Each structure stands twice: as C-alpha cells, then as structure tokens.
Amino acid sequence: MACPKHAPQTGENRPRRWNAAGFLPFRLEVLTPVFVGTGEELSPLDYVIRKEGREHVLYLADCAGWLQAHAADPAIGAALAEGDMLRLRRLLTEQLDEKLYGQARLPFTLPATAQELQKRITDPRSNSKAEILPLPRSAVSGCAFLPGSSLKGALLTPLIDHLDNRRTAGQGDLRSATAAFRSGYTEALKKMFGDIGNHAMQALKVADIPLAPQATGIVAAREVRRAADPNKPGTPKPPCEALLPLADGSLLPYGSLHLDCRSGQPAVELPGGEVLPWQRIGQLCNAFYGMRFLREWQTFYALPHLERVRQALQPIRARLERLDPAREWLVRVGRYSHLECMTVSRNAPEHKKGYGKTRTLADDTLPFGWVILHFCQTEEYEAGTRAVREAAATAQHTREQRRRAQEETLRDALQQQRLQQEAAARMRAAAEEERLRREQEAAAREARLAGLSPQERAIAALSLPDADDQTAQTLFQQLDALEAPLQRQAAEALKAFWQASGKWQGKQLSKKQKEKVARIRSLLGE
C-alpha cells in the first residue's frame, strides 16, 4: 500500500520562525500620562502620604509587617478586635515609619490630590474609601511596568479598522455582522484573523515594559464634559498611578516587539494570504491614531472651557507633525483612552448618552494614554533596559539598607531600654534591701533599748542616726544625776558625738561649749 503524500504547508500551518530579524526594540516616548489598571484598588491600609519639603509623596506600605511588629500596641489591638478599619487606617497613616515599611515612593503631581486624600483618611467622620488605582508591579523588583498585552491590544485596533474598512456594508463588516446575530462580531473577527488556535496576531509578541522607580506618580483623574455645565459635574474617579512624561533626569522606558519571520520578513500573515509587514502596521497605527488625535483636538479641545488643555497639547501636536513614519508609531494605550481610540471607524458605538460627550483628564490638564514607539538599535535598547534594571536594583538595595539600618536602630534602642530597665530594677532591689536592713537594725535597736533603764536609753540614744545637739544637751543635763559607771558612759558618748560633729576642740568653739568639753574631760580624767 502506497504511503499518502504529505499535504503542502500553507501559511496557516507552517511553523513560525522567531529570529533576530523579527526582534524590534523601541524607546517609549510618553506624551501624556499613561494608566493601565490591574483591576485592584489601593486602600488607605496599603499606603501612607507624607509631605517632604514642598512635595507630597505616597509610599506603598507593608501593612502586614507593620501590624506584626506592633501587635502589642493596645490601640492597634483594640481596632483589630473591634474591626474598626477607619480607626486602623488613621493609626497607620499617623504611626507607620515609611523608612522601615515603605515599599515604593510615588510623588503626587498635584498637592491638592494628596491633601484631599489625607483629609478623607484622618477625618473620623469620613467613610470615604480613599482608593487609588495602581499600575501593575513586579513582584521581584517592586517597580511598575506597562503590560505588553495592553500595548498589543492598542496595536490590534488599527489592524481591525483597516480590514473592516475594506469590507462592503452588509458583506462581513463588523457593524452588519453584529446586527445580524449575537455572535456576529466574534465570527467577523475570526474571518479577519483566524480562529483562536491559529490567530494571526500570534505572530506578534509584545514584552512587558519595565519602568524605572521614578517614572510613575499619582495623578488625579477628572472627567470633563463637552458641554460646560457647572450643575452637571463629571463622574468621580479615584486618583491613579500613571506613567508620566519624561522629566529631567528620568530614565527612558524601553520595550520590544517580536514578529514572526516565516514569510521572509517581520510580519503578520492574515488567513487570506495577505502579509502585513511591520512597516505597514506602523503606517496603520499612525493613520488611525493620528486622525483621532486631530479629531479630538478640533472637536473637543477647541471648546472655550478647555482652552487650558489645548494649550498643554500644543507641544504634543507639534511633536506629531514631526513624526518619522519610518521608525515612529503613534499609539494610544491604557485606560481613559476613550471609545474613539478603541473602536473601529465603521462600528462606532451608539449609546443613549451619546458618543464623545466627556473626556477624562490627568490633573485637569492632559488626556491619558498618548505614546510614541520610537524604534531603535539593539545596542540602545540593551543600554536603556540595563539602566532601568540597575535603577530598580539600586532602589531596592537602598530600601533594604534603610530598613536594615532602621531595624538596627530600633534594636539598639530596645537594647538600651532593656539595660536601663535592668539598672532601674537593680537600684530598686538595692533600695529595698537597704530599707529592710534599716528596718532590721531599727528593730534590733528597739529590742536592745527596751531592756535598758531610762538613763541607759538616754546614753544609747546619742549613738543613733537621728541623734542631734538637743539629744546631747539633754544627756549633758542628766550627768549629775547618774551613778558613777553610767556617768562615765555618758561622758564617753558625749565626747564621741562632739568629736564627730566638730564640737570637741578648736578655736571656733563657743565659751559655753568649751565649758561642757572641760567638764567631760574632767569626768574622763583627761
């Protein structure tokens, strides 16, 4: 039986070819703040706000570590036991040492944003969640990154728009397919790019873009309406962490695309056999996003109440006029990019609230998401990514050093406190021992005195610690009444007392005291 012939390989079943020719590194030029959400929110138990000079700064907090270290604090224990999260977050913001428990430092672009959050947190009457939307962060470096999947999605939209524009209405275009049946949109996309098992965009890989520690900050996300109506404010939105336009001294972010080269060049192959080289993808991006930037500029930011935004966008528009189509792609990426930039031209959404009625601005000044992919040499890419890695490693090392130093300081303080407590305990023990000794001595004296005659007690009293001149005077006046043996004991006791008190001899003695000393000397035979 003859063996069947192998079926010829088509564009759809040929193995992909990943090689150096398909590796396309780029420098990311950030024109306006970029925010890509994680689906999570940071509560006041995840951060603290500090004022450093004129700058307000947010520190991501190791709340678990702080709670573990302060488990013995009565106030914290009570808040935990009662489930009083409002009180706990106030304690956190008041007491947390950011040098010890801060994991990342994010400056606020506007002081008012920080002040408003701080007010919500510290006000005991406030039930505000005071949430902040973060960028995704690396579990290894602790630094934020721009997900490659977000950028890939932004590159896909112009391709869909290109393919949809070539279709005749009612003949497989997205709007007609969607209107025809529920799954029509999915089926139309499958015709454009193939099914999930062999999707044409598998030919494009986009790596996550690591960001330097100083590349992001906290911005306010404010919605403005096309119609200037003070009675209809925009929908409130939490502040967010955004990748910011390059500041002086900041490190540029670098990323890379990797395209399949089985067609002989870096390209995306469509099911019908059409090949989209990487340069063509760039042309489609520039045309799609360039038109949308211009339309937004003309129809939205030309409005009088948005003049400040128009002025802020002037340098960016001038930059786009200098766009190099051979090696620069204009893209809008991330959240708040608005429907126009995420929807193909012939499938613009129809909504009861209308289309293009609002815009979300960063700090009331700039729209979100505009970037340029500037393709560069591999050497520049490697140097740039290395600089970002080193900056991240340095920042992490600095945090660890600062934490170790702070922990050492705390250990020294605790050791000093322990030594002081031990010294105080020894002093208390010595004082107690001395008290007991004196009590025992006093008891022994009392017992001894109890067995003496009144005259003997008077003599013995002069040797007691509380004996004074009056005690000596009293005994001296009793001398004549004492019998000879007791009289001599009394004289010896008086001599010892006056010698100890400096009243036995010397020119400083009064006449009366000299007479007393002479009497004692006589009794002692001196």
Three-state DSSP string of 245-281: CCCCCCCCCEEEEEECCCCCCCEEECCCCCEEEHHHH
Contact 328, 376 (CB under 8 A): no
Pairwise CA distance, residues 78 & 86, whole Å:
12
DSSP code of residue 4: P
Left if phi > 0, otherwise alpha if psi is -120 to 50, otherwise beta: which for 281? Answer: alpha
Q: Quick one: CA dihedral 424, 427, 429, 431, positive or negative?
A: negative
In one-letter notation, the amino acid at residue 330 is L
| Residue-range definition of the domain harbouring residue 511 | 452-523
Rounded (5°) CA angle 16-18-21: 125
- pLDDT at position 354: 45
Q: DSSP 3-state assignment of 25?
A: strand
Write the CB contacts of 326 (distance below 8 Å, at least 6 apart in sequence): 279
DSSP code of residue 108: B
Contact 316, 372 (CB under 8 A): no
Q: DSSP 3-state assignment of 361?
A: strand
- pLDDT at position 182: 65
- HSE, side-chain direction, 13 A CA sphere, residue 135: 32
- The pair of three-digit structure tokens given for residue 159, joined into one six-digit string: 């391709």
- pLDDT at position 62: 87
Write out the DSSP string of 195-249: -GGG-GGGGEEE--EE--TTSEEEE-EEEEESS--TTSPPPP---EEEEPPPPTT
Residue 466 included in any domain: yes
Nearest one of 137, 218, 150, 146 to 392, comparing CA atoms: 137
Residue 516 included in any domain: yes
pTM (2 decimals)? 0.74
Radius of gyration, alpha carbons of the chain: 44
In the block, residue with structure tokens 């030919």: 203
Domain count, the chain: 1
Q: How far apart are the first and last CA of the chain?
A: 152
151, with CB counted inside 10 A (0-12, 13-18, 19+), is buried
Residue 227 included in any domain: no
Nearest one of 113, 217, 97, 361 to 121, comparing CA atoms: 113
- pLDDT at position 491: 82
Residue 467 included in any domain: yes
Residue 478 included in any domain: yes
Residue 481 included in any domain: yes
Write the CB contacts of 4 (distance below 8 Å, at least 6 apart in sequence): none
Residue 487 included in any domain: yes
- The pair of three-digit structure tokens given for residue 29, joined into one six-digit string: 């030029």
Contact 133, 117 (CB under 8 A): no
Q: What tens-digit pLDDT sequence spans the chain (526 residues)?
A: 344 444 444 455 678 899 999 999 999 999 999 999 898 999 888 999 999 999 999 999 988 888 888 878 888 888 888 888 888 888 988 888 888 888 889 999 999 999 999 998 888 777 778 899 999 999 888 889 999 999 999 999 999 999 888 766 555 667 776 666 666 777 888 888 888 888 899 999 999 999 998 899 999 999 998 887 766 777 889 999 999 998 656 789 999 999 999 989 999 999 888 899 999 999 999 999 999 999 999 988 999 999 999 999 999 999 999 999 999 999 999 999 988 888 877 765 554 444 578 899 999 999 999 999 999 999 999 999 999 999 888 888 877 777 777 678 778 877 888 888 898 899 999 999 988 988 887 787 777 777 777 777 777 777 777 788 888 888 788 887 788 788 888 788 888 888 888 888 888 888 888 888 888 888 878 8
Helices 469-477, 454-461: inter-axial angle, 10-degree rounding = 140
Residue 125 included in any domain: no
Nearest one of 97, 90, 135 to 117, comparing CA atoms: 90
Pairwise CA distance, residues 34 & 255, whole Å:
15
Pairwise CA distance, residues 157 & 175, whole Å:
15
Write out the DSSP string of 112-124: HHHHHHHHHHH-T
- The pair of three-digit structure tokens given for residue 398, joined into one six-digit string: 């600095």
